[in-house]
Chain A
Amino acid sequence: MGGDLLAEEEPSPTDTPQSMTEVFYEHFPYYLALGMTEWQYWHGDCTLVKHYREAEKIRNRKKNSEFHLQGMYIYEALVCVSPLLHAFAKKGTKAHPYTDKPYPLDKVEAKKYEEEKRKKEKARAREVFDAMVAALAARGLKEESEGIDD
């Protein structure tokens, strides 16, 4: 038992363990790249590095979301112009309208977005209804006048 462990080769002189100083210098450029100052790294609160790493994770997540969002906009733009890209598209084919507002990023914004969309649809329905009423009224008046003429 443990034969594998015992059979390990003798460590060569170059395998000497790293000193803490060597480890600190090895990681120093990484933390500088994360925005830590030289003073913070060497003289400041030694646990600060954890927070810098956490901040970097948040930054990366944010960047990832931005790229994803950008991809969504590009995808939507392609969908909108896709009718024009059709090789046998009929003459006069128009592109679909591109979103007039940015995508909502949180629940409050999404709710507001939905509310505005509903209001717009309501207003459009009202316009159609009013137009229909006006058309019916006009037809009624015309028929009436024709009746009087008869």
Chain B
Amino acid sequence: MAKQITLTHEGKTYVLEYTRKSIEQMERSGFRIEDITEKPITALPTLFAGAFLANERWTKRTVIDDIFDNIVNKTELIGKLAELYNEPLASMLEEPEEDEKNVGWEATF
């Protein structure tokens, strides 16, 4: 099951998700994931709006921007959105077969 984010705004529940098609549409309209670090002010609302394309296509941009402006825990949300955005690609990467040569890793943050 694909990862999703559910949020409620003015009594309406929105299910946010990225599909390959919505990512294609975003990239076609000029969005690049690198922009999140290079131009966060414009890229983050676009990333957020792109998550509406899959299931909430007909939501107006003004409503999306209003939701984004009023959202709490924005930093955490952005992290989750990036994870969500990466999923359609990550799901296509094959895990290597179990082998002695496999390289494990762990983060300290």
B-binding residues in A (CB < 8 A): 19-21, 23-24, 27, 41-47, 49-50, 53
Contact, CB under 8 Å: B24 / A45: no
Residues of chain A with a CB closer than 8 A to B27's CB: 19-21
Q: How far is the CB of A60 from chain B (nearest CB, A)?
A: 14
**What is the CB-to-nearest-CB distance from B88 to chain A, in angstroms, rounded to a whole number?**
4
Q: Which residues of B contact A50 (CB under 8 A)?
A: 91
B interface, CB within 8 angstroms of A = 1-2, 18-21, 23-24, 27-28, 32-33, 54, 87-89, 91-92, 94
Given A49-B91, A49-B92, A50-B91, verify A42-B2 contact (CB < 8 Å). Answer: no
Q: For the complex, give the distance between the alpha carbons of A45 and B54 in Å.
A: 10
Enumerate the 4 nearest inter-chain pairs by beta-carbon distance, A residue then B residue, closest first. Answer: A46-B88, A42-B21, A21-B24, A45-B2
A42 CA / B92 CA spacing, docked (Å): 13
- Contact: A46 with B94, CB < 8 Å? no
Taking A19-B27, A49-B91 as contacts, is the C-beta distance between A24 and B1 under 8 angstroms?
Answer: no
Q: Tell whether A47 pairs with B87 under 8 Å between CB atoms, given A23-B92, A53-B94.
A: yes
The residues of B that contact A19 with a CB separation of less than 8 Å are 27, 32
Bound-complex Cα distance A50 to B28 (A): 26
Quick check: A46 and B24 within 8 Å, CB to CB?
no
26 contacts between A and B (CB under 8 A): A19-B32, A20-B24, A20-B27, A20-B88, A20-B89, A23-B89, A23-B92, A24-B20, A24-B24, A24-B88, A24-B89, A24-B92, A27-B92, A41-B20, A42-B19, A42-B21, A42-B24, A43-B19, A43-B20, A43-B21, A45-B1, A46-B2, A46-B18, A46-B91, A47-B1, A49-B91
- The chain B residue sitting closest to A41, CB to CB, is B20
Known: A19-B27, A21-B28. A42 touches B91 (CB 8 A): no
